[in-house]
Amino acid sequence: MSLDEIDLSINFLGKELQYPLMINALTGGTAQALAINRALARMALKYRLPMAVGSQSIALESPEAGPSFSIVRDINPNGIILANMNAATRVEEALEAVRMISADALQLHFNVVQELAMTEGDRDFKGIVDNVRQIVHECPVPVIAKEVGFGFSREAAQCLWEAGIEIFDCGGQGGTNFIVIEDQRGGNFAGELDTWGIPTAISLMEILQLPVKQVIASGGIRSALDVTKALTLGADLVGMAAPLLKAFISGGLEALDQSLSGFFYRLKSVFLMCGARNLPEIRRKPLIILGETAEYLRLRGIDPSCWARR
């Protein structure tokens, strides 16, 4: 097998993509955010990657913040761009966020944990599922449910699936921890709940127990090996954010480009080392799940040996 034979292409939202990687939601609303989103959009265009913008609520409140989001569509007019709003947002605001960037899909982020950790955060979350159902009904593009670092359980995902959500971003524990961030600025949890959340691999496998259309794995994805593991478990693609931001801040656009180029080389190398030419082949490879993850799955009625025996 040759490295040149490795084909990492996938279909997402009806478009063919070169790699199973999505630039996940990061920022928007400030001059610095505009520079970051401009750079990320250039990479999304170059490597044909889907990209989600950060929460657009600031642009709905302050229209002058709009260009820090719309720059993404300006640079990448034919790419897959995801709008981003809180799951509790009003329907008309969600639709305006989609129009703002001519989005191909709408990410609804679920950040209940972060809100509770914030001294100024929301405390009332009644009616969110009904609100999601209404947004799904009226939104002209697919709606994606996204956790922000604490993972969806199977039960939570099922509630949203019954409300019409067919695409999930598991957003599991393992990456950016908003409880820690909020506690560092005087939040409500006083360091007692820093380990709260469902790890990414487990949340991914819990969601996969449902007849969903596609699942994005995110939360602590840092390496080509992490991506390969997620794809082998069953993710359709993988979302990354913090490593890309770190690369850009440390060395600008050139460093970001080099980071992605090296990452894709390593990802192809891992596929070759596994003897897989493409995504369907990697998903047929045996995967050994051990330790706490395996025990967790067994207790939840999921047999981890299914991955090992294929």
CATH number at residue 178: 3.20.20.70
Say if residue 114 carries a ligand binding annotation.
yes
Residue 287 lies in a domain: no
Q: How long, in residues, is the chain?
A: 310
Q: What is the pLDDT of residue 243?
A: 94
List, in sequence order, every residue forming a beta bridge with 239; answer none if it has no partner: 22
Q: What is the pLDDT of residue 183?
A: 86
Residue 146 lies in a domain: yes
Residue 292 lies in a domain: no
Say if residue 220 carries a ligand binding annotation.
yes
Q: How many C-beta neighbours within 10 Å does residue 116 have?
A: 17
**Domain range for 150:** 3-278
Q: What is the pLDDT of residue 155?
A: 98
Residue 35 lies in a domain: yes
Using CA atoms, how far apart are residues 161 and 157, in angstroms rounded to an integer?
6
Residue 307 lies in a domain: no
Say if residue 268 carries a ligand binding annotation.
no
**Residue 62 phi/psi, 5° resolution?**
-130, 95
Say if residue 38 carries a ligand binding annotation.
no
Q: What is the pLDDT of residue 259?
A: 97
Say if residue 84 carries a ligand binding annotation.
yes
Say if residue 146 carries a ligand binding annotation.
yes
Residue 291 lies in a domain: no
Residue 219 lies in a domain: yes
Using CA atoms, how far apart are residues 169 and 24, in angstroms rounded to an integer?
10
Say if residue 221 carries a ligand binding annotation.
yes
Q: What is the pLDDT of residue 177?
A: 87
Residues 6+ apart with CB under 8 A from 159: 129
- Number of structural domains the chain divides into: 1
Residue 267 lies in a domain: yes
Mean of the per-residue pLDDT values of the chain: 96
Q: What is the pLDDT of residue 30?
A: 87
Stretches where the chain sits below pLDDT 50 are none
Say if residue 115 carries a ligand binding annotation.
yes
Q: What is the pLDDT of residue 190?
A: 84
Using CA atoms, how far apart are residues 216 and 232, in angstroms rounded to an integer?
13
The torsion defined by the Cα of 157, 92, 134 and 241, in degrees rounded to 10, comes to -10
Q: To which H or E segment does residue 284 belong? A: none
